[in-house]
Structure formats: structure tokens, C-alpha cells
Structure 1
Amino acid sequence: MRRSILAGAGAVLLLLLTACATGGPMTDPTTPSSSRPPFATTTPGPIGPSGTPAAVSPAQWDAIVADLAERGVAGEPVLVSAESVTWPNGALGCPKPGMSYTQAVVDGMRVLVEVDGVSYDYRFGRGDAPVLCEA
């Protein structure tokens, strides 16, 4: 009688261990356990205008013109919009995969210019060095 009790207890223990190891009878290992979408670490593309109108300084404009020239863009840039923006981090709203950025708010500016029908989205942090946001 003692052997049958031990055998029964062993069978129950084996069933419990098997159920724990596979996640139990109610879970399917092929489906995620959460209904949330996967965590995204980057913005899917350039963000839209959301700041207040601002004036582009001569130093900022000269830096944009110089950057366009370095990229081989010929033609006269036309200012489309300029706005003051508080960026959530050093990526200035346009992170690049694999890069690390300062995790502090950055007061800056977003400047949209157009050359021969092509738009260019420039971002500024605290200085006058532009960052072209390429989607």
C-alpha cells in the first residue's frame, strides 16, 4: 500500500512539474503573453510641426546653406517654416538607428527649407549647427 501511495504521489508530482515547465495547460507557447505591440526605440519618421513660430538667425541660415552646398544641392533655398521646439532628447526628434543620445530635454528649432521642389528638414539644438533629418 505504501508503494502505491508513493507511486501516485510521484505521478502527481511529475504532472505538476510538466505543467509548470510548459507554461501550464492554458497557454500557447506560439502566442505572445501580452497584447501590447513590441517596444519601439525609434521614431518611425520625421515628426510634424508642433512648436511655436521662430526666426532663423543669420548664423543658422548660413549653416543650412553651407550644408546644402556640401551635399551638392544647387539652387536657392527657400524658407518654408521655422519653429521653436523642445525636443525630448539629443536626437532632436530624428534618431538614427544604433546611435546613443543625451536623455534630457533640448530646447531647439525645426527649420523646413525647399530647393527646387525638394524639402529639407533641419533640426537645431542649443547651437547653430544644423542636423538634417532624413526619413
Structure 2
Amino acid sequence: MSRLHIAAAAFLLLSLTACSGASMDDSTEASTRPPFLTTTPGPVSASGAPTDVPPARWDAIVADLIARDVTGAPELVSAKAVTWNNGALGCPKPGASYTQALVDGMRVIVRVDGETYDYRFGSTDSPKLCER
């Protein structure tokens, strides 16, 4: 065997073994990690808005509640980033048509005086109250 063949074989052997590492099944790390929680009331900013809801969206929710003659102080129940399947934001109205594209947004649940309100956001800061 020539030196060229030996060098090529050594290079190939090193290349193949360098790529092997931990096994492909590293599921123990994922299974021991605690879940990411988004449903805590959480801290509030100086303005009284929850820190996990952008201020513009919180202000829009408060304004919508005021327009609906809801007078109590809203309390955050949960806030979660969501990718909606279409422009209905997970809350379609019968007979309406919606953009058929994935929409990155947010779902914010608030409670006022024992009543729960389910707000949906798409790519803008305009809330949509899901009334089912």
C-alpha cells in the first residue's frame, strides 16, 4: 500500500470518528427540564401592566374593556405567544372568511370582577375578544 493510500485512509478514519459524539437520543435532558410556564400573574410594571404582555397590547385590552363598560381592574390570568392557523386567530365567526396563512400572535386571558375575557392578537396591537 502506498503512502498516499495510507494517508487517505487515516484522513477518512479521522473524519468519520470526529463526527461521532453523544448518541442521537438525548431525551433525558428534555424530560428532566421543567415546563415553561406562562400562566402566572407575574410582576407588573410601574404602569400596572403585566410585564409579560407588551404595554401597547395591555393598553388596548384596557381600552376595549372600558368601551364595553367594564369598570373593574383587569387581572392577568395568562399570556402566551401563539402561531394561529389563519386570520381568525383561533376564534372564527360563522360565515366570515379569513386570511389563510400562519399568523404569529398572542393569547391573553384577563379576569375582571369574576368575569373572564379571552383576547387574541395577530401581528398588530389590536385585540380581538373571543366570545364563544
Match of 2:45 in 1: none
Shift of 1:128: 0.4
- Measured after TM superposition, the shift of residue 52 of structure 1 is 7.1
Aligned counterparts, 1:27-66, within 5 A: 53=38, 55-66=52-63
Unpaired runs of 5+ residues, structure 1, are: 1-50
1:131 aligns with 2:128: yes
Query: Where does structure 1 differ by over 4 angstroms across 4 or more consecutive aligned residues?
Result: none
Max Rg structure? 1
Q: Residue deviations 1:76-131, cap 9 Å, x none? A: 00000000001000000000011110000000000000000000000000010000
Count of residue pairs the alignment pairs up: 85
Alpha-carbon displacement from aligned partner over 1:29-88 (angstroms, at most 9, x marks no partner): xxxxxxxxxxxxxxxxxxxxxx97392111000000000000111100000000000100
Structure 1 length-normalised TM: 0.60
Q: Identity across aligned pairs (percent)?
A: 68
Find the partner of 2:99 among 98, 102, 113: 102
Output the CA distance in 2 between the equivalents of 1:55 and 1:76: 17
Stretches of structure 2 lacking an aligned partner (at least 5 in a row): 1-35, 39-50
The TM-score normalised by the length of structure 2 is: 0.62
RCO comparison, higher one (Cα < 8 Å, 6+): 1
Contact 1:52 1:85 in 2 (8 A): no
| Counterpart amino acid of residue 84 in structure 1 | A
Aligned partner (choices 64, 67, 84) of residue 67 of structure 1: 64
